[in-house]
Copies of this chain bind each other. A is one copy, B any other.
Amino acid sequence: MSRLTRDDIIAGAGRRFASHGYHGTSMRDLGDDLGILGSSIYAHVGGKQELLAAVIDRGAAFFEASAMRAQREGRPADETLAELIAGHVDVVLDHRSEARTYLSETQVLDDEDRKRVSEARDRYESVFVDVITRGQAEGIFPGDRDPRLTAIYVLSILNTIDRWFDEGGRVDRHGLAADIFGFVVDGLGC
């Protein structure tokens, strides 16, 4: 049992914030999870709000990194969209706590942090909007659907996955990502 690092504290806070919410979590709860006293957490971080911001920033960074990877140049829009979807599925399942806290607790941040996180979220959403727009211009997506509305629909699906998906069930995460991509491209039609 060596001493905890600041990263350990942030990881533990993420788990609690994701499952019980920021307001449903006390510093003593966090301490209990980590095997220390609530007051001992202040040796590692400035306070509860700082902990939340740290967790959420990590969540935002995972999504941003995934978008960067998917946006490699010279590929058709449908491939990029498929990789955006698969990457989002990976982030949500591999970094559940950070992703869920990022998706659900951003409103609790103070003005400055919330603004920064909202901008990151808007940038990420824009990547989806842009690839849909490009796919339509290139004729890969034959319809004339509104790209922003469609991007919101896709993200709504992706952002809820961790709430119901059972990894170990009949369909694995790659099958899930492929199924979502198929739904987005063809709906119930094919």
A5, chain B: closest CB distance, angstroms = 28
Q: Within 8 Å CB of A143, what residues of B?
A: 186-190
Contact residues of A: prevailing secondary structure: helix
Proximity bits, A138-180, B CB within 8 Å = 1, else 0: 0001110110011011001101100010000001000010011
| CA A80 to CA B159, docked complex, whole Å | 27
Q: Within 8 Å CB of A142, what residues of B?
A: 188-190
What size tier do the contact residues of chain A reach? 35 or more
A107, chain B: closest CB distance, angstroms = 9
| CA A164 to CA B121, docked complex, whole Å | 13
| Residue A53 at the chain B interface, CB threshold 8 Å | no
Question: Which residues of A (1-59) have their CB < 8 Å from a CB of B?
Answer: 20-24
Q: Within 8 Å CB of A87, what residues of B?
A: none
| Residue A182 at the chain B interface, CB threshold 8 Å | yes
A84, chain B: closest CB distance, angstroms = 13
- Whether the Cβ atoms of A183 and B24 lie closer than 8 Å is no
| CA A46 to CA B133, docked complex, whole Å | 54
Q: Within 8 Å CB of A182, what residues of B?
A: 145
| Residue A108 at the chain B interface, CB threshold 8 Å | yes
| CA A180 to CA B183, docked complex, whole Å | 13
Q: Measuring CB to CB, which residues of chain A are less than 8 angstroms from any residue of chain B?
A: 20-24, 108, 132, 135-136, 141-143, 145-146, 149-150, 152-153, 156-157, 159-160, 164, 171, 176, 179-180, 182-190
